[in-house]
Structure 1
């Protein structure tokens, strides 16, 4: 009896040990997969009796055939990716129709970016647009969300056959650490909270210019509608970065008042403190912005960088430029878009919760009339290795 039990135990152990050697049961042969690395969404107006809006979805595929195609000798005309588009009135049926055109199984777990076209973002709210992609289990939640100026599908095209636009867009966001003209990445996971908050917010905008993709400021998403309200250019986005104090690096180009020659202040650190003030029914804000940096470039060879007079002028010239950037963007978001995309409402909610409860329903409208005073203090801590 003991021998039988021992044999049974040994057989069980052999089976258990053998299971991992069988490989991955759910594995998929890579030759049979079409990896979706990027997706774009554009709105079309159908020529039907109902004038129904239709959605054009473009998927950027990498397959065993496309990978390396752009680098093979004698085949430089072949692109390293393949874009396939389908049009329909709902996302899932439209995507399923792509099965009729590709000989690979679509695999979206490596998707990097989702680009939404301008017309679609202005017409439909983003909650509707993104609902399927948020629900889809195969879609990577870390996927980047961008808004295209004009058609989104153009941003998934490149005139260079060895480039893969979806990968380029992802890599371009890494420049956030070195410029104030790029927003921190917004992913599918992060955007859910923004859409549910009822507050206005920003998304990175991108354009295709002569076959080359470029980040071009930010898209303003209105909180009440979750629709695109308009765009901020790169300079205006710089101003907002200073207000938020969330920039990690970047440059400020100023001009010495005495000589008129340019100088460049490089940001080493920045911080911003927003303070809300309430007097009766009157709301106002004070913003204190501080930064430390270095002189990265200057054209006045007659001056000594370490002389106090010159350093003071350089700080003042840089401060004047930052103040100009802030004034311009505040004018636009308050009076043109009437959208608080810079966190003033959140500061009021924290510091004066009772007042916030009264104004939160129509905060964007209230924000458009609120006085905002900004003070900028830049300090040059490093002069580089030059002595003149």
Structure 2
């Protein structure tokens, strides 16, 4: 009887061990999949050829439509890149479809591809300038946020002009969607690139009602793509308000204190020669002040860094007088960057994309309750003072 019990226990144990080895019953053969690695969305103006609308046989929508371009990587494209005949084959395949809503347009794309579209490896979504100005991002991104197959860590970008051009490359082995993601890794080395914004982060930004920034990408006529400034998204309308250039992004990074590295180029006043300051650390403290109905802000900016390069050959880097002179020149350059971007976001765009309202909410919650409804307008009129403190901690091995 004892042996029978042991055999039963061993049999049950064996069955339990074998269960995890039965394989994946929901497997998807990679040869049968078209992996979507990037998606672009562009506005098509009225006047183009109209298509039948989904759910209305023979019906036509008399409104602007959206062109969606999916970048596919398949088992065939990844094996390409070698020359067949006179021209090399691309390592990706772009498929475009136009419609008046996201999901029906994507489903129509099935009629043009021979593999199952699979979006769990999607890396980036790029929205064209015209579309972002016309429709609010909440509507544009609703499907992508709801779709369970979409990866929430996918990067979100705004393209100046046409978004589909950023998914093109003249290099045979290049996959543009992958390259866009890799370009964000430079955030820690420059103040000209924003921290990456993903689908997970964008949902909170859209629901907050506050204005915010998205990284801008431009494509040149020779097929090169570049991060260049940022898109200003207005909180109330959730539409594109305008763009900040690279210098203005630098100023905004100093205001927020979110930079991890970068350079500041200034000029030595006595010699007129350039001096390059490399940022080792930065921090910023935005202090709100409330006096009755009056709101104001003070910004305290501090940074430690090193002299990475200077052309003042008549001076020794280790001399205290020279270091103080350089620190003052760097402080003045940072103040100029801050002033320029504050003028742009306060007086031209009238949108708080630097987090001033959030600091007011934290320090003065009761005041924020009355101000948040018209905050962007209030922000455009509040006085803002700033102070910059630069400390040079290192000057390399030269002159030691």
Aligned residues: 388
Partner of 1:236: 248
Partner of 1:186: 197
Q: Deviations over 1:233-252 (max 9, x none)?
A: 01100000000001000000
1:37-52 map, 5 Å:
37-47=37-47, 51-52=62-63
Distance, in Å, in 2 between the alignment partners of 1:21 and 1:72 is 42
- Residue 51 (structure 1) shift: 3.2
Partner of 2:104: 93
- Residue 12 (structure 1) shift: 4.9
In structure 2, the gaps of 5 or more residues are: 51-59
Q: TM-score, structure 1 length as denominator?
A: 0.96
Partner of 1:337: 349
Asked whether 1:301 is paired with 2:313, we answer yes
In structure 1, the gaps of 5 or more residues are: none
Partner of 1:221: 233
Partner of 2:22: 22
Residues 61 and 100 in structure 2, CA contact (< 8 A), matched pair in contact too: no
Asked whether 1:77 is paired with 2:88, we answer yes
Distance, in Å, in 2 between the alignment partners of 1:39 and 1:272 is 36
Q: Say which of 356, 362, 379 aligns to 1:350.
A: 362
Partner of 1:376: 388
Distance, in Å, in 2 between the alignment partners of 1:330 and 1:160 is 40
Q: Say which of 132, 145, 156 aligns to 1:145.
A: 156
Distance, in Å, in 1 between the alignment partners of 2:82 and 2:21 is 37
- Residue 215 (structure 1) shift: 0.3
Q: Secondary structure at the match of 1:265?
A: strand
- Residue 46 (structure 1) shift: 3.5
Q: Secondary structure at the match of 1:70?
A: coil
RMSD across aligned positions (CA): 1.9
Residues 229 and 337 in structure 1, CA contact (< 8 A), matched pair in contact too: yes
- Residue 104 (structure 1) shift: 1.0
Asked whether 1:118 is paired with 2:135, we answer no
1:277/1:82 CA distance change after superposition, 3 Å? same
Residues 205 and 219 in structure 1, CA contact (< 8 A), matched pair in contact too: yes
Partner of 2:323: 311
Distance, in Å, in 1 between the alignment partners of 2:359 and 2:126 is 31
Residues 69 and 75 in structure 1, CA contact (< 8 A), matched pair in contact too: no
1:361/1:307 CA distance change after superposition, 3 Å? same
- Residue 127 (structure 1) shift: 0.6
Distance, in Å, in 1 between the alignment partners of 2:256 and 2:24 is 48
Residues 82 and 88 in structure 2, CA contact (< 8 A), matched pair in contact too: no
More moved, 192-201 vs 62-71: 62-71
